[in-house]
Structures are given as C-alpha cells and as structure tokens.
C-alpha cells in the first residue's frame, strides 16, 4: 500500500515536507486542504466554517496525517470540530502530527524550558494551542490514534509555492523589518527545512503520545539576528527602536510579552535528528546564498 499523507492545512511547512519527500525519491501520495479546492493539485476545500465534503472517501486510505491549522476561540481545533468522529475510525493511520507552538510554555523571563517542562501559557493563543494539544491527546489515549505533538519555534525559510518565505530576511527584503530592542529578550527559531526533517524522522520512528520541541540550538535576540542578516546583505544596520517607543500590533505585543529559551534535546536523542541549520547563522547564510 502506497503511504498517503494528508495535510489539514497545506501551507508552508507541509509544502516543504512534501518537497523533501519528492527530492528523497520516496513514493508518497500527498494531498491536503486549502480555502479553495484545486483537485488537479490534490487540494480539498476546508475552513473553520467549511468541513471537507465527503471526508470518508477523501480520508479512507490515509496512512499519515499532518495538522497545522490554528485553533479558534469559538470552536477549538477546526479539524476535530468537524471530523473528530471520522478520525477515530480511519483504518490505516500509522502516524498523526500536530504542529503546535512553544507559546504553550508562556513567559519564563528568559529561563530555559525543555521537552519535559510543564506548559504554562500566558497568552490567549498559547491557551488555545494547549487545549488543542489536549484534545488531540484524548484521541491518542481513547482511540489509539498515533498522535505526536511538535512545538515549533519561530519559523523562517525560503519561498515555496505562494509563500514569499518567512523570517528576518523576508522582512528586510520587503522593507517591513523593525529592530525592536527589549533587553534580555530571547526568541527560539527553526528553519522550515529542519521542521520537515524532524517530521520525517518521527514518521520513521513513531512514538504515539510524544511531544517534541522543534527549535534550533541557539535562542537569540531579534536585533542580533537582524544585524547579522544586514551584514550578509551588505546593508547598514537598521536603527534601533526601544520597545517602550514602538507601536506594536496586538499580535506583536503578545510576541514580545513572552521570553524564554527552548531546548531541543528530544529530537536529537530520540529521533536521531541532526539539524541542517543548527543556528540562525547557517540558516540565513544559506538563504542569502540562494
């Protein structure tokens, strides 16, 4: 039976995962969801208020599921909201990956957290993500659905599909970057190619119920990263803006309200992953070189 990956949310990380599978010469059938259907590309319409049409037929031969759609305040996880019962009855599923966020750890005032640190979200988005994780775990515990939780850091990487890419390089190239300074603030990042590398390693070594922090080895302040990318681009550094003087969107204010450094031991020790981009330096140097 040809393995079949179905992605609820065929977005940035899912597209990179599918590309890695193709480049490795692996025989996979890959399909997923988008807001509008595109049958020629294996895409089916799905949204918070729009379940899959005929999900029994679409999902019946699926062996691997990837979920990257954000939970909502009114309905929780949209996939579970619409298709929970069907998911508990799929006959061939060997692996389920839920893409969560390190935001479930909340604000730790710059302290380290690891794979065993209990979640303690402080922002609404973190609470929603933790609730979604817990809801997926119920399916693992009660129905033996092989769920794996991946808590991602801030994602960056190259363009793919309709996405122009993510991260400081993309922001600089579009003149949207600001060097906001908050002393002692750290962020954990992960190159999108390394996300796909971790997911493929987990598929090869499934451990249902397990949680993995998916970040690189070097949490770093955002101004430090921006200065490094400016150097790579031979551009002058951006002017510094103290956070107390910055006008921030609610999303960005939430982003800067949490400060922690995240360890990634389990992806190395249990899955045997060697990151291609262990710090932002290797990652952005490769992106600028591309």
- pLDDT at residue number 257: 94
Two tokens, residue 195: 């996300």
Written in H, E and C, the secondary structure of 258-282 is CCCEECCHHHHHCCCCCCCCCCHHH
Q: Would you say 28 and 2 are in contact if contact means Cβ atoms under 8 Å apart?
A: yes
Q: What is the pTM of this model?
A: 0.97
Q: What is the pLDDT of residue 192?
A: 98
Domain ranges of the chain: 4-156+189-216+262-273
Query: What H or E segment, with its residue span, contains residue 5?
Result: strand 4-8
CA distances from 54 to 37, 42, 44, 50, 85 (A): 13, 14, 10, 12, 14
What confidence tens digit (pLDDT) does each residue in 3-31 have?
999 999 999 999 999 999 999 888 899 99
Domain 4-156+189-216+262-273: which topology?
Rossmann fold (3.40.50)
User: Residue 251 has what pLDDT?
Assistant: 87
Residue range 49-78: mean pLDDT, rounded = 97
């Amino acid at each position: 039976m040809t393995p079949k990956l179905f992605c609820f949310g065929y977005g940035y990380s899912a597209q990179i995962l599918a590309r890695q599978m193709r480049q490795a010469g692996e025989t996979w059938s890959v399909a997923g969801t988008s807001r509008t259907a595109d049958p020629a590309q294996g895409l089916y319409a799905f949204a918070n208020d729009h379940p899959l049409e005929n999900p029994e037929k679409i999902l019946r031969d699926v062996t691997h599921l990837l979920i990257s759609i954000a939970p909502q305040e009114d309905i929780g996880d949209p996939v579970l909201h619409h298709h929970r019962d069907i998911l508990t009855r799929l006959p061939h599923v060997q692996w389920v990956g839920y893409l969560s966020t390190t935001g479930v750890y909340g604000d730790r005032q710059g302290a380290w957290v690891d794979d065993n640190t209990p979640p303690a979200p402080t922002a609404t988005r973190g609470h929603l993500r933790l609730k979604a994780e817990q809801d997926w775990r119920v399916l693992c515990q009660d129905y033996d659905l092989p769920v794996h939780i991946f808590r991602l850091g801030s994602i960056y990487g190259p363009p793919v599909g309709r996405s122009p890419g993510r991260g400081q390089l993309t922001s600089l190239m579009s003149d949207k970057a600001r060097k906001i300074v908050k002393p002692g603030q750290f962020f954990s990042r992960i190159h999108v190619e390394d996300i796909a590398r971790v997911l493929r390693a987990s598929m090869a070594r499934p451990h249902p119920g397990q949680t993995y922090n998916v970040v690189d080895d070097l949490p770093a302040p955002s101004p430090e990263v921006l200065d490094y990318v400016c150097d790579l681009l031979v551009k002058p550094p951006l002017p510094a803006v103290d956070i107390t003087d910055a006008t921030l969107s609610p999303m960005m204010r939430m982003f800067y309200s949490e400060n922690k450094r995240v360890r990634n031991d389990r992806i190395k020790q249990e899955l045997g992953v060697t990151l291609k981009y262990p710090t932002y330096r290797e990652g952005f140097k490769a992106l600028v070189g591309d």
